[in-house]
Structure formats: C-alpha cells, structure tokens
Amino acid sequence: MMDRVLEPELMVDPEQVRIYSEADFEEENQGFVDRFLSSYDDLNHATVLDLGCGPGDIPIRLARGHATLHILGIDASQPMITLAEQAVKRAGFTERIRLLCQRFQDVSLADPVDAIISNSLLHHVPNPFQFWYAIKTLAKPGAPVLVMDLIRPDSREEAQDIVNQYAAEEPEQLRQDFFNSLLAAFTEDEVAAQLAELNLSRLLIDVPDDRHWIVAGRVF
Ligand SMILES: C[S@@+](CC[C@H](N)C(=O)[O-])C[C@H]1O[C@@H](n2cnc3c(N)ncnc32)[C@H](O)[C@@H]1O
C-alpha cells in the first residue's frame, strides 16, 4: 500500500484558487447536495455547517435545493472565501449563507449546528482526528452528517490513471492538484478506523464509485 503524501493544508495560491473555482464540479457537487437533502427529513430551518467550503458552490446548491436552510461555510483560505462571498452575492443568498475565514480546528460556535457537511477537505488535513473531533463537538447530538472525499489509490500509477480518466481535458494545474489530492487522501479502512477511534459509531462509510468514499449518518 502506498503511504499518504501530504499536500499543503490550505489552498491559498491565487492562481490555484482561480483554476479550482472555475473547474466544473457540477455533477459531483450536485450529487453530494442531492444525497444530503434526500437522506434526511428533519432539515427544515436547519443551520448546516460546511467545513472547507472553498468557493461556495455547495452552499449555493444547498440554498437553491432547500428553501429554509441556512448555511455557514468555513474555509481558512482568504482567496477562497473572497470568491465564495462574490458567488453568494451573485446568487442572491446573502441572507441564508454566512461565510467565515477560519481554520475549522479553531472554530467555536455560540450554538451547535443542526447538521454538518464537508466535501474534499479531509485529505488536506494532517491530523484526521481533529476533523472528526470538530464534527463531534460543533454539531447537536443526532445531527445529520455527510462527508465525502477521495480514496487514496494503491500506487502513483493508479493515481495517474484516475487523473487521466476523469480529468483528461482539464488545465495542468487542476490535474496536478487532483493527483496530489489522491496521494494525500485516506483509504476506506483508514477512515473507518478514524470513526471507530472517536466512537462515531452511527456514521457509516460507503464507496459510491472508484475514487470516492462517503460517510453518512448521525453524530451523537
Ligand atoms: C479541495 S477544496 C474543497 C472545497 C469545497 N468543499 C468543494 O467541494 O468544492 C478544500 C478546501 O479546504 C480548505 N481547508 C483546508 N484545510 C482547512 C482547515 N484546516 N480549515 C478550514 N478550511 C480548510 C482549503 O483552503 C480549500 O478551500
């Protein structure tokens, strides 16, 4: 098995951020939002925390998909939050989407949130337990959770094959970021062990395709 190769935790390079925000993640992001909205029936007037919200595409899709949700997006990259603020304004959701530029490890909220989501953040994080601990402490007991990220392949060659298969036509920077993210990601077994270690026994891991894992359930 290939060891994890860490990439920088924050995405702060302006060019990298611009290219990421212009990339087409519609299918992946809309699929994530649809799965969240259809999995839980107690989301009316809920406040959903999006950890590592990046340029805000998922918060905006959530706000479009559910009329009474409020979303708090957190990202520690100022260039990402600036783009997210612009996108939220353009989409007309400044009343329902709030954005915070902060590391999730440093966040403390006046009230625990009703639900937590996170897409493609965990592979950036050096210590994964901090991520699951944040989920445990920032959410109300019983809160719905949906987390998705990449699976680390067995070798660099396999990672390159995945990049070639799914990002053949993308800009070189995005292909390089995708490759680095695959190398920094966790395996299904590693994530399952993290959940067990933190006693998050109501969160279950599933592998929906050849390169993602999804953790869903409720946090107690
Ligand atoms: C690959 S992007 C994913 C963005 C978004 N969730 C999406 O699906 O498009 C990961 C984001 O997590 C942010 N990030 C990394 N470490 C973080 C931390 N400790 N606290 C908050 N945000 C962090 C990065 O700056 C980056 O914007």
Residues 105, 128: Cα–Cα separation, whole Å: 11
What is the Å distance from ligand 1's center to 172 Cα? 20
- Answer yes or no: is 6 within a domain: no
Residue 80: CB within 6 Å of ligand 1? yes
- Answer yes or no: is 2 within a domain: no
- Answer yes or no: is 5 within a domain: no
Tell me the per-residue pLDDT of 187-219, one tens digit each, with 9 for 90 and over.
Answer: 999 999 999 999 999 999 999 999 999 999 999
Q: Which residue has the tokens 């951020």?
A: 17
- Answer yes or no: is 9 within a domain: no
Residues 99, 191: Cα–Cα separation, whole Å: 27
167: pLDDT strictly greater than 90: yes
- Answer yes or no: is 125 within a domain: yes
Tell me the per-residue pLDDT of 49-64, one tens digit each, with 9 for 90 and over.
Answer: 999 999 999 999 999 9
> Against a cut of 0.85, is the pTM above it?
yes
Of 1, 6, 11, 52, the residue nearest 183 (C-alpha): 6
Pocket test for ligand 1, best of 124, 176, 177, 179 (most atoms within 8 A of CB): 124
Q: Report the number of distinct structural domains present in the chain.
A: 1
Residues 129, 7: Cα–Cα separation, whole Å: 17
- Answer yes or no: is 4 within a domain: no
Residues 203, 218: Cα–Cα separation, whole Å: 6
What is the Å distance from ligand 1's center to 30 Cα? 17
Q: Which residue has the tokens 């009343």?
A: 95
Q: Which domain holds residue 79?
A: 14-219
- Answer yes or no: is 69 within a domain: yes
Q: Whose CA is nearest to atom 27 of ligand 1?
A: 54
> What's the CATH number where 146 sits?
3.40.50.150
Helix (H) or strand (E) holding 212: strand 212-219
